[in-house]
Structure 1
């Protein structure tokens, strides 16, 4: 029985996806719930599993193709045994007689065609095209290359895209160098890079996620009257609190106690006091949100994603830390779903984990505010007329000046500073 595989529902406001890669090939055996294809949307990358065990039959949508929700991707033959790949037939090795070259042999003419790139001894065996990444396989097919004749420099002897590009451009680069060596006139200026430079460049199409990130961030700069205000926080009390209770907290709640959870709770308290920071502009209206969905920016190899802690205002500190930990693990494994990133009202970004001392975060439309945390650094500060060394962190609040006045923005950030420097305020609600 043939089972059709369709593009699943992709989440709020997401209507199409791009086929990133087929994990299985036609004829491969598949198990129930085993991923067969990877889709890339403007928000996240997700895998589509097979609903039944059997054999992957006809593949309808090719890699790189854009498909809408509900579109047919492939068919699976339920219960059928997967075809085993036929053994690869290697071309018979030809013995090439060694030729002794006399020491007085003349130099090779400058206009001789360069020899093809030959693989190193460790990579001389034929490379199975099925083991190549989609980008590498596409280049090899387009230029009709033999992977066995290309030097592989990747981990485990794998062929990389840079290897293929170098093989494509090496003959042209050698020819260009030969022509320049014999010509007296200088090389005319060109708009394109030199061949030797082009061989060291790699052109990669932006992923759909990266395209949307670029468009949204630029749109935020173009549409919002964006401004950033700064403050600094003495992290001594918060670090002492964490040191005193981190073991007991982890034993009681089975999750580590971090700083992000405290700042999420502090931001919620401040948002209650300054509701404009939690609002958004819709045409000529202002929408005030009486709920707190806090986005936590997470960096992944695919790009920045902002999963949202829904109804964070109803959560305890332990619940908040669990949500943050879960998002971090799923983002690392590429398991963030589109619905996880929908509905945010305010965002927190921690550039300090990458060593950032100070930055001006860009708004996440249609939100009106974003809080930036930074690296904790020991600095000399004055406390009670005494110079002391304290762990300090800069905070930045970028906000839309169309809806948030400077007084509100500065007061909002000062409120977070108060609660971070004296975490007892969070417990007391003051």
Structure 2
């Protein structure tokens, strides 16, 4: 009797186990996927399909990937590198019965090479989910399962796709018949393991002073517009010459003189001095920190660690963070840090390029991802320059009720179990959609 029960238990465990492959397109994929990979290693067979194409890594400001650079320590996994389309196609075609997890469409248009018995799972990665789903070549994404942070994101995407102001997405909506699940933000799970004392020591941060963190303006990531150029350059001659050369002198002349990166640096320096706080600046390798910011920073934090995320580690001990309408606001909230969103939506060219983000830009008359008093506070650049020097940290509190609501709306759960929910959603989807004989044989 005992032997039969043990055998049944072993069989149930095997049936619950899923072979999961994580596509690692660049080093920064480990930021959202790292906690999920470590969680999957406990109960599943795991493979990493790693892009070792050096040019693609360097172009995006990431170091080249290799087996030695993988930051996963939770168990054994199969490492399968590729450097070209043919190799990745072979990997796909030799992996039937696999749950493939990605945060972007598969490269080289290889979605059609995913075996019928495999499941292509698209995991939300910030706001990228919107342009990814809206892409004209949707068939290159076409996931079997979409994993959203929360119902808010699912409803928002559906609403945008039905809004004819942004185009006719009837074909996409017709193709978008796949399953979806609201499972929370797996990247947030690592926060529960953070230790304040260890982090302060690791980054040589003071224990007796407030900490302010700025995610520097992403010049290399944002589109080059007249507003963007003028924000970076406060020299009027350089501005005018650029405007003439690019046929945008009118935009240049309309740019407010005080709306510049250098003036924001001066305002932050005054704010930190007033609050006896130290300033930490987070930058990307492709976005070097200007000298005028480096001079006022206590420490610069780069991209040297995606998992565990050095940015989230620092946010977890910070008293306030700032960014420029970026999803850093989500990381701040996950780490229990109040946030100021420096509003760049006054840039008309930027708004025109991403019209479907209209509902996300900060508005004074309603709450949203970038303006949620008690969690995040929207300020336009002019107000930041003139008002921050006179503000106190107490003007930007993190209020528990509002924080709970924000996390519920935009992040899912803060209980540290999001990765488990993601893996369970994948398992249930495969159990529901794939015949048992197809899973066992590898192909239907």
- TM-score with structure 1 setting the length: 0.29
- TM-score with structure 2 setting the length: 0.28
Which one has the bigger strand percentage?
A: 1
User: Which one has a bigger Cα radius of gyration?
Assistant: 1
